[in-house]
């Protein structure tokens, strides 16, 4: 090849997928640049915002726990709302997932309807649903529970559907060949495969719902958010930070417990404690003996190992807490079914949508919402990349580094996103910039966890092959780790853009910019048809982003 000029050397074929990805990437960068200028974001406001927040936090300290009984009561109500809302959404999402999955749906019509329900539920933010339900049902936790349940279908139903579609087909075909019916085959072959993923998704959604239920009180839907809002409006910042600290502790504890349980259910060895003690060695040896005895004696039921006992104990604890929540929460459990007619009538009053009353304010609010979503996603991604790498246990050799990073991210995730937005608005004033910075914090911690998990899931075989050539750690990362994780990273970035566009729609409720202020104003003056117009526009934007994400995932995979 020495005698051939570089210009005449054969080049790899240019696929249309590469061109499409390039267009999408350039469009994303252009949208981010436009967003930066549209909301007048500068480096001064970016770094100054975090400085203002720190000054406010120091002013709030030390917290005043005079209202601790009220805060604890409201926090318990928040936990009950999250438990009941998650449980109801799981009950509704299980059949919906099988109807919306390509390999189990009865026909294309049911498939389209199932997908539309999941997308619609995900497109309408929880706080918007809570505000609409509060108009129909009045102030109280019932509106919040219904909002959590319906919105959670969007995420739980989507992940359940993907689990069903990704199930192994050979066992199903084998059962079908014996003459088994379609749904009996599904129950016998697919359900056992997807049950661990279902439970893991439900626990993960419980974490999210606990954070969201903590702020539903801002629209009168119950929980500790009402206490936080009241104290902030009265400029009693020390009492407000005491309420924030209590819900922070509760969220952190529940996340640690649910993470440990998810690791046990899906068999994630990386999530098990890293420090091997004499007690853990004896426990593992005992479990191995029990498994060997069960195999040799051909027991029909698996032995009660430590992990099985842990899962059973957690399952019983969840059922006890769920029953306690239903019994003790202040809402009409039985008569609430009769209120569904009021909810349905409230939904019907949103149509036909009115796009004219709000006029230019509607489209400016939508543009501001888009700008907040793009900037928060981009800034969050830039911050989360190094955090995600530092938190990956198969990338960082030193336990202190990844343990400290994960502990730091866990602490930040303990603060509900809207509470962070309230703190930024209180520190910086009204406008889209504090809302953007609040979303950036939430995006960075959430994305860092997803990136760390994606890096930990890469196959070790390509890494070992690259190491065998004498490559350095950096060369091995860029040649063997990053290419494997890239599809997940692209998918997660688009998913976060989807999430941030929905989250930015409610920032205006607390003064953080976007369409939320117009939405809250329309709700307060009972302009239901204007609310319907706003919800439709939000749905179209979110659905378009989801279609784009599916297209990009199909290309990169």
The string of DSSP letters for 311-356 reads HHHHHHHHHHHHHHHHHHSSS-TTGGGGGHHHHHHHHHTT-S--SS
* Sign of CA pseudo-dihedral 201, 206, 211, 217: positive
> Which pair of structure tokens corresponds to residue 200?
């893991």
Q: Is 47 a member of any domain? A: yes
Per-residue pLDDT band at 556 (split at 50, 70, 90): low
Q: Are residues 338 and 356 in the same domain?
A: no
Per-residue pLDDT band at 330 (split at 50, 70, 90): confident
Instruction: Output the pTM of the full model.
Output: 0.75
CA pair distance 459, 8, nearest whole angstrom: 38
Q: Are residues 147 and 258 in the same domain?
A: yes
CA pair distance 495, 491, nearest whole angstrom: 6
Give the residue from 363, 378, 367, 382 showing the smallest Cα distance to 432: 367
Q: Are residues 45 and 146 in the same domain?
A: no
| CB-CB contact of 387 with 405 (8 Å) | yes
CA pair distance 537, 172, nearest whole angstrom: 41
| CB-CB contact of 149 with 92 (8 Å) | yes
What's the domain range around 547? Answer: 35-62+351-458+502-557
Task: List, in order, residues 6 or more apart from 54 with CB less than 8 Å away.
Answer: none
Q: Are residues 419 and 386 in the same domain?
A: yes
Q: What angle do CA 423, 426, 431 make, to 5 degrees?
A: 100
> Which pair of structure tokens corresponds to residue 533?
């117009």
Q: Are residues 285 and 411 in the same domain?
A: no
Please report where in the chains the tokens 């994960």 appear, as a residue: 406
Question: Tens of pLDDT along 70-110?
Answer: 888 888 888 898 899 999 999 999 889 888 888 888 888 88
Mean pLDDT in the chain? Answer: 77
Residue 130: the pLDDT is 83
- Count of domains forming the chain: 2
Q: Are residues 338 and 451 in the same domain?
A: no
> Which pair of structure tokens corresponds to residue 370?
């888009």
Q: Is 130 a member of any domain? A: yes
- Comparing 282 with 270, the larger pLDDT belongs to 282
CA pair distance 261, 254, nearest whole angstrom: 11
Residue 215 belongs to domain with CATH number: 1.10.3720.10
The string of DSSP letters for 31-52 reads HHHHHHHHTT--HHHHHHHHHH
Q: Is 26 a member of any domain? A: no
Cis ω for the linkage preceding 353 (within 30 of 0): no
Percent of the chain with pLDDT over 70: 80
Q: Are residues 363 and 312 in the same domain?
A: no
Q: Are residues 397 and 427 in the same domain?
A: yes
Residue 4: the pLDDT is 44
Q: Is 314 a member of any domain? A: yes
Residue 9: the pLDDT is 45
Q: Is 488 a member of any domain? A: no
Q: Are residues 69 and 46 in the same domain?
A: no
Q: Is 2 a member of any domain? A: no
Per-residue pLDDT band at 325 (split at 50, 70, 90): confident
- Mean pLDDT along residues 184-188: 69
Q: Are residues 376 and 414 in the same domain?
A: yes
Q: Are residues 102 and 58 in the same domain?
A: no
Question: Tens of pLDDT along 107-154?
Answer: 888 888 888 888 778 777 787 788 778 877 777 788 888 888 888 898
DSSP H or E stretch at residue 444 = helix 432-456
Per-residue pLDDT band at 202 (split at 50, 70, 90): confident
Task: Dump strand ranges (E) for 193-236.
Answer: none
Q: Is 139 a member of any domain? A: yes
Q: Is 526 a member of any domain? A: yes
CA pair distance 435, 514, nearest whole angstrom: 9
Q: Are residues 313 and 438 in the same domain?
A: no
Q: How many residues does the chain have?
A: 557
CA pair distance 441, 452, nearest whole angstrom: 17
Residue 265: the pLDDT is 65
Q: Is 44 left (phi over 0), alpha (psi -120 to 50) or beta?
A: alpha
Question: Tens of pLDDT along 372-406?
Answer: 889 988 998 888 888 888 888 777 777 777 778 87
């Amino acid at each position: 090849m020495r005698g051939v000029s570089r210009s005449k050397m054969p080049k790899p074929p240019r696929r249309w997928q590469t061109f499409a990805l390039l267009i999408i990437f350039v469009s994303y960068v252009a949208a981010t640049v436009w967003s930066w200028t549209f909301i007048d974001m500068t480096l001064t406001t970016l770094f100054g915002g975090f400085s203002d927040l720190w000054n406010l936090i120091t002013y709030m300290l030390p917290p005043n726990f005079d209202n601790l009984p009220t805060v604890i009561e409201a926090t318990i109500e928040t936990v009950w709302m999250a438990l009941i809302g998650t449980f109801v959404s799981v009950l509704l999402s299980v059949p919906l997932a099988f109807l919306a999955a390509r390999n189990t749906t009865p026909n294309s019509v049911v498939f389209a309807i199932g997908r539309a329900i999941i997308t619609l539920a995900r497109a309408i933010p929880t706080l918007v649903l809570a505000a609409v339900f509060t108009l129909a049902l009045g102030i109280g936790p019932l509106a919040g529970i219904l909002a959590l349940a319906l919105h959670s279908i969007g995420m739980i139903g989507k992940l359940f559907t993907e689990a069903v579609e990704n199930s192994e087909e050979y066992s199903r075909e084998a059962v079908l060949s014996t003459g088994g019916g379609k749904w009996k085959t599904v129950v016998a072959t697919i359900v056992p495969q997807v049950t661990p993923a279902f439970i893991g998704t439900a626990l993960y959604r419980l974490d999210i719902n606990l954070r969201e239920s903590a702020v539903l009180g801002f629209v009168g839907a119950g929980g500790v958010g009402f206490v936080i809002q009241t104290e902030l409006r009265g400029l009693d910042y020390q009492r407000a930070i005491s309420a924030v600290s209590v819900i922070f502790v509760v969220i952190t504890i529940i996340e640690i417990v649910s993470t440990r349980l998810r690791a046990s259910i899906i068999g994630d060895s990386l999530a098990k404690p890293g420090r091997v003690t004499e007690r853990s060695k004896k426990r593992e040896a005992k479990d191995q003996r029990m498994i060997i005895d069960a195999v040799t004696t051909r027991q029909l039921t698996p032995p009660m190992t430590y992990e099985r006992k842990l899962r059973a104990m957690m399952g019983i604890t969840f059922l006890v807490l769920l029953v306690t929540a239903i019994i003790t929460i202040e809402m009409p459990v039985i008569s609430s079914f009769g209120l569904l007619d009021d909810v349905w009538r409230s939904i019907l009053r949103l149509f036909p949508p009115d796009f004219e009353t709000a006029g230019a304010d509607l489209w400016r609010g939508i543009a501001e919402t888009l700008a907040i979503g793009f900037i928060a996603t981009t800034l969050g991604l830039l911050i989360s990349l190094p955090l995600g790498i530092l938190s990956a246990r198969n990338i960082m050799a030193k336990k202190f580094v990844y343990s400290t990073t994960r502990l730091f991210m866990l602490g930040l995730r303990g603060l509900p996103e809207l509470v962070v937005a309230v703190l930024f608005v209180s520190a910086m004033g009204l406008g889209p910039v504090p809302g953007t910075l609040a979303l950036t914090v939430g995006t960075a911690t959430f994305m860092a966890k997803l990136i760390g998990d994606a890096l930990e899931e890469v196959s070790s075989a390509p890494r070992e092959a690259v190491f065998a050539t004498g490559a350095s750690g950096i060369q091995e990362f860029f040649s063997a780790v990053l290419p494997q994780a890239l599809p997940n990273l692209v998918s997660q970035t688009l998913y976060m853009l989807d999430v941030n566009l929905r989250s930015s729609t409610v920032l205006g409720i607390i003064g953080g910019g976007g369409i939320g202020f117009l939405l809250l104003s329309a709700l307060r003056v009972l302009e239901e048809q204007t609310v319907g117009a706003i919800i439709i526009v939000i749905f179209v934007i979110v659905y378009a982003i989801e279609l784009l994400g599916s297209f990009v995932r199909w290309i990169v995979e």
